[in-house]
Amino acid sequence: MSDLLPFDLVVTLIVALPLLSAVINGTNLLFGDRMDYHTVQRVTCSALLLSFLGSVYVFMQVLADPTPREVIVYRWLFSGDLNVNVAFLIDSLSGIMMLVVTGFSFLIAVFSINYMHKDYSFTRYFSAFGLFVFAMLILVMGNSYVMLFFGWEAVGVCSYLMIGHYYHRVSAAKAGTLAFVMNRVGDAGFLMGIFLIATNFKTVTYSEVFAKLDTIDEATATAIGLSLLLGAIGKSAQLPLGTWLAKAMEGPTPSSALIHAATMVTAGVYMIVRSNELYNMAPNALLVVALVGGMTALYGAMVGATLSDIKGILAASTTTQLGLMFLACGLGAYAVAMFHLVAHAFLKSYLFLTAPSILHHMHTKPDITKRETTRDQIPFIYWALLVGSLLLVAVPFLGGWWKSTHGGGAMPISWYVLMGAGLISAFAILYYSARLTRKVFIDEAHGHASHDDHGHGKAHHAPTVMDLMFWPVTILVMVGGAGYVLGLLPGGVEGTWFQKLLAPVVASQEFPVGGHPVLTYLLMALLAVMVFSSWFTALYLERFKPELPGWVLIKKRWLYNLSLGRFWLEDIYEVLVVKPCKALGHQLDRLDTGIIDRAVGAPAPAGKIRTAVSTWEDQYLGLEAVGAKQSLVESASPAHTQEEEDLHEDHVRASEPTGAVGHAIKVSAATTGWVEEKIISREQGVVGWLTRVASADAAWVEEKIVRQEAGVAGWLTKVAAADAAWLERKLVGEATGVMGKAMMSAADLAGGVEKHFIGAGGSSKADQSLGIHGGMVELNKIIAAMTASVEKAVFDEGVHKGAPILSGIFGSAMFQVEELLAKPAVTGAILVLSVVAAVMGVLS
Amino acid sequence: MNLNELYATQQVGFPMLSALIFLPLGILLMLGVIRDQKMGYQLALWGSVAELALAGMVPMREFSADMQLVERFGLFMGMEYHLGVDGISALFVPLTALLTLLAILYAEPAAKTDVRQYLMAMLGLEATMVGAFVSLDLMLFWVFFVLELFPSYLLITKWGTGEKRREAAGFYVTIMAAGSALMLAGILMLGMNASQAGKEHIFDFLTLLTVPLSDKTQSLVFFMLFFGLAIKAPIFPFHTWMPRVLEQGPVVGMSIFLVGLKLGTYGFLRFVIPLVPDASKEWFWLMALLGTVGMVYGAAIAMIQTNLRRLLAFASLSHMGVVMLGIFSLNFAGFQGGLLQMINLGIAGAGLFFIAGFLYTRLGQPDLSVLGGVERHAPVLAMTFLVIGLAGIGLPGTGGFNGEHLVMIGAYKVHWLMALATGIGTVLTATYFFRYFLLGFLGEPSPAPANPHTVATMPDIQKREMVIATALAAMIFWIGLDSGPFLRTMDGSLKALEQRVQQGATVHTATAPAVTVSVARQGQ
């Protein structure tokens, strides 16, 4: 045992060091942030480096002797026969994860030094960073489900802190809250799983649980598997809880790289791989895992295909890749999933770390359709990004996705289907990664008509330090590439080194996936559509019309809007989950609304940013480049510069209606605006007519707002106001400026595309579109009338005849109840009545 | 329920629990004499330090169900002066002492006038609370329970910050009196039953354990005690006094008061469940239901509050729901969770109330109309709020997680619906807490031209406040990261309690072993 002692110590230190760095930095922060930033960064980076070296040592030990071993630190929690230790399980799986976590966190911490050094909350960032690494290590090294949960929750908090790092932006703070609450929903499932485990096995330690697996039946295993899966869905941003990931891009880019790409979001995959023996007992749960993964991959691919902001695309790509990992798990190919996880960590952190440099170059233009730089200006970054994108594409293929060479025997049809889903997703990754690259660097000509107001023609050079920082990352990618070439390939498939390494933890598994035939064919049909769409889009777009995003999808306007709006999942949750939770009474309580709105101003606009299109960070970087940073930081004062005014306008533009009705209105408004855009310079009559309609609407809406209607009306009026304002702005002719800095809303895109048609697309296109004016005007009238009547119907009926939504009733009722109960007489009466009732009840 | 008694004279050589009660009382009296404010403050401060040191010396016997540090001698009419601590009560004594110390530390900024009398009221509150926590005689418990009203009333009316503080205090005292009267009825019923069984010390907890009770009497007693404790706890729908009192009451003094509220749920664990176990088993569903309703209801109302102090009142109601769910799971894990959660929430609730006090001294009222952007201008204050709030949410690493986790295990053993209810509670807590944090602490400071004290000009955390925040955060993390000592201390007593619930109280000694109270009375 004596030779094990240093091992135990090392393992404990690996976990303790990041915590120590967080504590030191946190204490420093607590006592007024007295250390200079050199010390802060040295503390963090050295702790992480030591931790990484320790992980390497531990990994070597694991290589030498793959037997799982446990390191018990102390007893943490116990109740009756249930015992939870603070203890670590070291085997090949956790060894790999430790390497990933400590290695990437060290690199990204080093990167952050340069990225964050102008940030006024440098110390806060690094405290959270150290804390995150600690939590993540607990997550991957813990020897029981409760330890896993500990890490699980703690990384959630760190994620909250990081997303909300720029907390004085309400949208960042809100995005953080959304992520936390969404994760909480998943965690409820996870907790349920833990209780099922605790009650069935009387233990929560992995080794003991897996040893006792034969004591439960398949149904119980399925229940446990599904409960755990819910937690994994939340953490790994799978459907249907995945919407928080896109908003999480509000955080500083290095933290996005670490938390929302390389490590934290893969925790769900880790958990499923860790519990693989449990899942193997429950084929149905595995099927659900596969389906969730497949659907998420498709969803991420479609959303990614329509987005055009760099971090948004990366987030969508992460969603897709995570979906693929889930799919692999669901197919029983755990080792493949693990390999994919590691490779994805390499590639995604690489892509993320190049993003800020690009943003530096493209300052304030996070929308890639608006880029105008050329390849010649930034050759190194161009190649770096290209290589990264290619590797990203290659992973699913190289990572053993093509299993055709492997395994005999007939596979169930759903296996092919799921494989197909993976394939198409991979294709979509190819498509939009390539697009990202070429959009950013190659497209020279298009889209700059709209943003000449900034008057910059050349990309700014990123700071040299930042350029330098690419080398470690590039080396990483090279190492990853070398891994492919050396016998690691194709990772995780049976017989390879990687699979053998994981063998003690992960039993290999034939493809157990079955499924309902109807479901299968449905999925197949969907996939066929997607194949065609993606191919055609890519071919057409990349070859002929690079300025048009999603040509095929945009033909199907509904589909395009759907993808662009991330299938409105967020809005649905906003209505179904977040709103009822958050605001049972919020919107009905006039007092509350009155006070808060007056106090905090109108909190809505910036908080409703749909995509990460133009995160504050991007603008911050941009302004930093033009020296206006300080004024942004202190933007409590009214805007003085043009830059800031644009910014404010952007925030207003980011105000998005929520909910299905809101979207119905918005989409019709978008269509209206799209038509209007074309007519605007030509048909004064229509403009006049529309102006009348819009201003009438606006006045009507304003009246509602002034009167502060509660309930659904109050909420809808905001939507309507946004729409009306939008229309008005279009009509009055501010459209040129607005379009240039447009947020990526459906309305904008529709308008933007049309603009291209007319402006850049050539005369034939323009003629064509002019040719349909007559029809469009009619359509426009109809839609406008419909919009108005829908609004009137909803508001008039809803407000005046009193049909508020359910949560409204509940919330206001509760508030009334409380008002009533708070009367002393009522309380007294209740007391007397209950005493009487109790006595009568007992005596009778 | 087999409880041995270890006498204080044997254990430590002096009546320690009496000392804990009378030390604050003694200082209180001395403060009445000393006119010098500065000296009085020093005296109160060091006195409460001594009290905390003394309370910290209460020996925690691990895995033991014994009553420790027992002192008993007869008073009149069957009433006894009977003190003792066991796993259930032992932790509350140091908790009370700690929070009193912290509140006294902040007394000068909190009480603008009559600091000396303010200190006296605090010490009085402390003495009565410690007394109630260590009483083993029901009548004595009741006396302390009622006595606590006086300092509370004084605190609310004299140092309350609201316009309607007198009204609130009046309401509080009235409804407490009603509750206490009902509780007294329950206690008398128990006493009468005991005296019919020929017992001498008819209100003594240990004696009453040996007296069999019919089902009907049990139910009656259960409800009588329930009303008293439910109003104190408070449990829905008897909570309505609390938002008023917390909103109108003094700034920081209410922090100790929040621990005093734990007397409500403590009473269930200490007296109700062991004395009327069958009725508890019969009515557990009602208690769990009230707990759930209170939890959801409190959280829903908390979500629309703009005033932090009011919000904390409803949060407290919501948290009490979790505790009730744990306690009335009537199994070991549930008891553990409920008790641990009481301690946690005592700390976290008090901590948040301290912060509300800090904000009050800066801004006048911790309301969203003046808050916003605190994080930017006072980052440490905001961070402290976040850390303490996370304990309330039950994040792993804070005490709240361990408590909630155990409550869930306990609840799950009874019915999955109860576990689900607990789970919903945690989600709701996160929602209202983060909402307030978002609106009040993040974002931009709200322009409040009428008020000269704005977030933008306010100072960050001060030295004293730092001590308070650090102490509370340390406690939170201690319980969260190493709950072993706490769980071990309560282990024995709670196991005995679970056994008692299983055995019931209707059957007499033929099957249930008699309590082996040492017959020999305390010598001196």
pLDDT tens-place string over residues B3-38? 777 777 777 778 888 888 999 999 888 888 887 878
What percent of chain A is modeled with pLDDT above 70?
A: 38
Q: What is the pLDDT confidence band of residue A641, given thresholds at 50, 70 and 90?
A: very low
**Half-sphere exposure of residue A751, counting CA atoms within 13 Å on the CB side?**
30
B431 → closest Cβ in A181, A591, A839: A181
Dig out the tokens for B44 from the structure.
Answer: 């109160």
- Interfacial A residues in 237-266 facing B (CB < 8 Å): none
A596 at the B interface (CB within 8 A)?
Answer: yes
- The pLDDT assigned to B519 comes to 39
- The pLDDT assigned to B450 comes to 55
Task: Give the containing element (helix H, strand E) for B71.
Answer: strand B67-74
A814 → closest Cβ in B301, B375, B445: B301
B306 → closest Cβ in A584, A592, A826: A592
Q: What is the pLDDT confidence band of residue A172, given thresholds at 50, 70 and 90?
A: low
Asked if the Cβ–Cβ distance from B370 to A599 is below 8 Å, we say yes
Contacts of A594 (CB under 8 A, 6+ apart): A708
Closest among B174, B181, B119 to B151, alpha carbons compared: B119
Alpha-carbon distance B140 to B134, whole Å? 10
Alpha-carbon distance A607 to A616, whole Å? 11
Residue in chain B lying closest to A589 (CA): B304
Q: Which of A199, A578, A584, A608 to mutate to test the interface with B (most CBs of B within 10 A)?
A: A584
- Interfacial B residues in 310-349 facing A (CB < 8 Å): 332-333, 336-337
Average pLDDT, integer, range B283-292: 87
Looking at every residue in chain A, the average pLDDT score rounds to 59
B444 → closest Cβ in A30, A188, A636: A636
pLDDT greater than 50 at residue A769: no
Query: Among A283-292, A568-577, B128-137, which range has the highest average pLDDT?
Result: B128-137
Chain A contact set for B413 (CB, 8 A): 199
Dig out the tokens for A744 from the structure.
Answer: 């990526």
Q: Which of B434, B441, B479 to mutate to test the interface with A (most CBs of A within 10 A)?
A: B434
CA of A844 to nearest chain B CA: how many angstroms apart?
Answer: 10
Cβ-contact B427, A188 below 8 angstroms: yes
Convert the pLDDT of each residue in A473-500 to its tens digit.
455 455 555 554 444 444 444 455 666 6
Q: What is the pLDDT confidence band of residue B456, given thresholds at 50, 70 and 90?
A: low
Cβ-contact A251, A163 below 8 angstroms: yes
A181 → closest Cβ in B178, B237, B430: B430
Distances in whole angstroms, Cα of residue A610 to Cα of each of A569, B64, B159: 11, 58, 48
Whether a cis peptide bond, with omega within 30° of 0, leads into A240 is yes
Average pLDDT, integer, range B61-87: 80
pLDDT greater than 80 at residue B123: yes
A582 → closest Cβ in B237, B333, B435: B435
Average pLDDT, integer, range A574-586: 46
pLDDT greater than 50 at residue A767: no
Asked if the Cβ–Cβ distance from B423 to A191 is below 8 Å, we say yes
- Interfacial B residues in 399-418 facing A (CB < 8 Å): 401-402, 405-406, 408-409, 412-413
- The pLDDT assigned to A356 comes to 61
- The pLDDT assigned to A748 comes to 40
Average pLDDT, integer, range A668-684: 39
Convert the pLDDT of each residue in A20-44 to its tens digit.
888 888 777 766 666 677 777 788 8
CA of B98 to nearest chain A CA: how many angstroms apart?
Answer: 22
Chain A contact set for B372 (CB, 8 A): 599-600
B304 → closest Cβ in A164, A815, A834: A815
B431 → closest Cβ in A82, A581, A824: A581
Q: What are φ and ψ of residue A84, in 5° steps?
A: -120, 120
CA of B242 to nearest chain A CA: how many angstroms apart?
Answer: 9
3-state secondary structure at position B428: helix
Average pLDDT, integer, range A383-401: 44
Query: Among A158-167, A451-460, A466-475, which range has the highest average pLDDT?
Result: A158-167
- The pLDDT assigned to A122 comes to 75
3-state secondary structure at position A638: coil
Contacts of B386 (CB under 8 A, 6+ apart): B437, B441
Query: Among A593-607, A688-702, B468-482, which range has the highest average pLDDT?
Result: B468-482
Residue A525 CB neighbours (<10 A):
10
- The pLDDT assigned to A724 comes to 43
Alpha-carbon distance B265 to B319, whole Å? 11
Q: Which residue has the higher pLDDT, A634 or B349?
A: B349
B304 → closest Cβ in A146, A151, A589: A589
Distances in whole angstroms, Cα of residue A683 to Cα of each of A85, A690, B424, B454: 75, 11, 57, 53
- The pLDDT assigned to A435 comes to 47
CA of B120 to nearest chain A CA: how many angstroms apart?
Answer: 30
Chain B contact set for A191 (CB, 8 A): 405, 408, 423
CA of A158 to nearest chain B CA: how many angstroms apart?
Answer: 12
Residues in chain A: 844
Asked if the Cβ–Cβ distance from B401 to A181 is below 8 Å, we say no
Convert the pLDDT of each residue in A789-809 to its tens digit.
444 444 334 333 333 344 445
- Interfacial A residues in 41-80 facing B (CB < 8 Å): 74-80
Q: What is the pLDDT confidence band of residue A565, given thresholds at 50, 70 and 90?
A: low
In sequence order, the β-bridge partners of residue A309 are: A367
Dig out the tokens for B284 from the structure.
Answer: 């557990």
pLDDT greater than 60 at residue A271: yes
Whether a cis peptide bond, with omega within 30° of 0, leads into B234 is yes
Chain B contact set for A823 (CB, 8 A): 240
- B204 DSSP assignment: B
Chain B contact set for A198 (CB, 8 A): 409
Place of tokens 């009548």: B139
Q: Which residue has the higher pLDDT, B60 or A787?
A: B60
CA of B151 to nearest chain A CA: how many angstroms apart?
Answer: 22
Residue in chain A lying closest to B399 (CA): A77
Looking at every residue in chain B, the average pLDDT score rounds to 81
What percent of chain A is modeled with pLDDT above 90?
A: 1
Convert the pLDDT of each residue in A46-99 to its tens digit.
888 889 888 888 888 888 887 788 887 777 766 666 777 788 888 888 888 888
CA of B369 to nearest chain A CA: how many angstroms apart?
Answer: 5
CA of B481 to nearest chain A CA: how many angstroms apart?
Answer: 7
A580 at the B interface (CB within 8 A)?
Answer: no
Q: Which residue has the higher pLDDT, A522 or A746?
A: A522
pLDDT greater than 50 at residue A185: yes
Cβ-contact B184, B145 below 8 angstroms: no
ipTM, 2 dp? 0.73
Chain B contact set for A125 (CB, 8 A): none
The angle subtended at Cα A486 by Cα A483 and Cα A487, nearest 5°, is 105
Please, is B2 exposed, middle or buried when counting C-beta atoms within 10 Å of its C-beta (0-12, 13-18, 19+)?
Answer: middle
Whether a cis peptide bond, with omega within 30° of 0, leads into A68 is no
A599 → closest Cβ in B220, B368, B397: B368
Q: Which residue has the higher pLDDT, A698 or B419?
A: B419
Chain B contact set for A828 (CB, 8 A): 174-175, 178
Asked if the Cβ–Cβ distance from A149 to B396 is below 8 Å, we say yes
pLDDT greater than 60 at residue A702: no
pLDDT greater than 60 at residue A620: no
Query: Among A156-165, A366-375, A400-409, which range has the highest average pLDDT?
Result: A156-165
Convert the pLDDT of each residue in B317-329 to its tens digit.
888 888 988 899 8
Q: What is the pLDDT confidence band of residue A573, given thresholds at 50, 70 and 90?
A: low
Q: What are φ and ψ of residue B84, in 5° steps?
A: 175, 155
Asked if the Cβ–Cβ distance from A636 to B445 is below 8 Å, we say yes
3-state secondary structure at position A88: strand
Place of tokens 């809808």: A716
Q: What is the pLDDT confidence band of residue A121, given thresholds at 50, 70 and 90?
A: confident
Residue in chain A lying closest to B381 (CA): A30
- The pLDDT assigned to B217 comes to 83
A590 at the B interface (CB within 8 A)?
Answer: no
- The pLDDT assigned to B507 comes to 55
- The pLDDT assigned to A543 comes to 37
Average pLDDT, integer, range B217-230: 87
Cα A676 to chain centroid distance, Å, stands at 34
